[in-house]
Amino acid sequence: MKKNNAQQDNNKKPKSDNGFYQFCISNLAEKDSFGGGMESYEVPIRKRIKELESSLKLIDVKKIDKVKEQIKKLKEMLLNSVDMKIYFYLRQRMGYGNLVRLNESQTTIADKLILPSASVKRSFRKLKKIGVISYQIESKRMVNVRISPFLEWRGDGETHNNVIHELVESFKAPPFAKSKDYQEAMKDIA
């Protein structure tokens, strides 16, 4: 009896034939060990920082400031604890279609999380820049806050497909895609 149930489970096909299952398998599953591309985004930055820090001992004194500036820029590209707190705060409020229900300003969020307001504002900008979230500003308030449908999804496959096409400007590429800023920061110092 147990073998028959196990054989039946193995013969079952995925429920979704609308392409969403295929999208999840090809785009979300096992892309990296965490965060839908975060590892492939951050590890090269961390390696580059390590290389630059070790090169400080060997380079010409005139180039030290330039290298230190590049290290600072690279460190700013990494996700920090405030960025992660903001992401999880938004994720807890994410509804159908990855739309985030926010009725408060960034300053109010900073107060709720006991974080510096400037850090929260920087985190929102960073998360938007690297494609983790999208939002518009209207009357000094964020509207239409959405978590990238490339990271995770709440909703059905058809809605997911529609959202991907609607938000092509907001999410031109999956999160952590290598932007021009990323490429520039990773260049060798001449």
Tokens 């005139």 found at: 62
Highest mean pLDDT (candidates 17-26, 59-68, 111-120, 128-137):
111-120
Which residues are paired to 136 by β-bridges? 143
d(CA 45, CA 60): 23
User: Which of 58-62, 112-116, 166-170 is the least confident region?
Assistant: 166-170
DSSP state of 97: G
Q: Which amino acid is at 171?
A: F
Q: Which residues contact 6 (CB under 8 A, 6 or more apart)?
A: none
SS3 94: strand
Each residue of 71-98: pLDDT tens digit? 898 888 888 999 999 999 999 999 988 8
d(CA 133, CA 137): 13
Query: Which tokens is 4 given?
Result: 């028959």
The pair phi, psi for residue 23, each rounded to 5°, is -60, -45
Give me the pLDDT at residue 29, please: 47
Taking the model in full, what pTM does it have? 0.70
Tokens 């492939």 found at: 40
SS3 179: coil
Chain centroid offset of residue 188 CA: 25
Each residue of 151-180: pLDDT tens digit? 888 888 887 877 777 776 667 666 776 667
Element (H, E) at 42: helix 38-55
Give the other-Cβ count within 10 Å of 82's Cβ: 19
Q: Which residues contact 110 (CB under 8 A, 6 or more apart)?
A: 116, 117, 119, 120, 121
Element (H, E) at 98: none
Q: Which residues contact 144 (CB under 8 A, 6 or more apart)?
A: 99, 134, 135, 136
